[in-house]
Amino acid sequence: MTSPPPPFGSAGEHQLQQHLGTADRAARFYDQQVRPHLTAEMREFIGRQSMVFLATSDSHGECDASFRAGPPGFVHVIDDNTLAYPEFRGNGVLASAGNMLENPHLGMLFVDFTHHHVGLHVNGTARLYHDVDLRRLHPGLPTDVAPGRSPHMWVHLTVEEAYIHCSKFIPHLEPAPRPTSHGTARPKDSDYFTKPRTAPCPSLP
């Protein structure tokens, strides 16, 4: 009789765990740390975060990593199984959202760089909504996520697993005002990596 597959982790994870002899250690991690929903502590942690890293891929498995930021709590916890965050007008490429249309699997990594130096992985299934449509389903969505900016759309995530990213090697970063000048004017964003320049961009002290 074939044993059922483990509740968490990919087939590739479990194959490597067997090959490298870490299966028992990994099983303890799955049992003690991985949850199929958000705990109260996870919900509170997300509500304090002002940035998140995203992982998506298209239907062929070609990956894209991205970054979102906003006021603390811009990623809104709807309930134990559901998150939503706004997408604002950007460069028009829509790489992450476009991947979600082809492949709805979304990985999110929240990292606290300033206080407890710990991270939280949240993985699940994403769906895109127009602002008015998601508010019809969830009237409690925040109305002023970023002052002066209206969401282009919302990403709605159904949580499938959530687990800790340990504090080892997470650097300590202190929030600071954005400098108004770096000594020498840097290239515009649109030129930064695409136009040659005669002198290197100055480094920060």
Q: Which helix (H) or strand (E) holds 106?
A: strand 105-111
Lowest-confidence segment of 27-31, 125-129, 144-148, 192-196 by average pLDDT:
144-148
* 32 in any annotated domain: no
Give the pLDDT confidence score for residue 1 in this predicted structure. 47
pLDDT greater than 70 at residue 5: no
Q: Is pLDDT above 90 for 196?
A: no
Q: Is the pLDDT score of 188 beyond 90?
A: no
Instruction: Classify residue 1: in a domain, yes or no.
Output: no
CATH number of the structural domain spanning residue 102: 2.30.110.10
- How do beta strands 119-129 and 51-57 pair? unpaired
The mean pLDDT of 22-30, rounded to a whole number, is 94
Distance of CA 104 to the CA centre of its chain: 14
Mean pLDDT throughout 174-202? 76
Residue pLDDT, tens place only, 95-118 = 999 999 999 999 999 999 999 999
Q: Looking at the domain assignment, is residue 104 inside a domain?
A: yes
What domain range is 142 assigned to?
37-165
Q: How far apart are CA 117 and CA 178, in angstroms?
A: 22
205 pLDDT higher than 70: no
Query: Does some domain include residue 204?
Result: no
The answer to whether residue 14 is domain-embedded is: no
Establish if 49 belongs to a structural domain. yes
23 assigned to some structural domain: no
pLDDT, tens digit (0-9, with 9 covering 90-100), for 61-80 = 999 999 999 999 999 999 99
> What is the pTM assigned to this prediction?
0.89
Distance CA 85, CA 145 (A): 9
CA distances, 25 to each of 28, 69, 127 (Å): 5, 34, 34
Measure the CA angle with vertex 19, ends 17 and 23; round to 5°. Answer: 30
The number of domains in the chain is 1
Residue 7 lies in a domain: no
pLDDT at position 184, please?
64
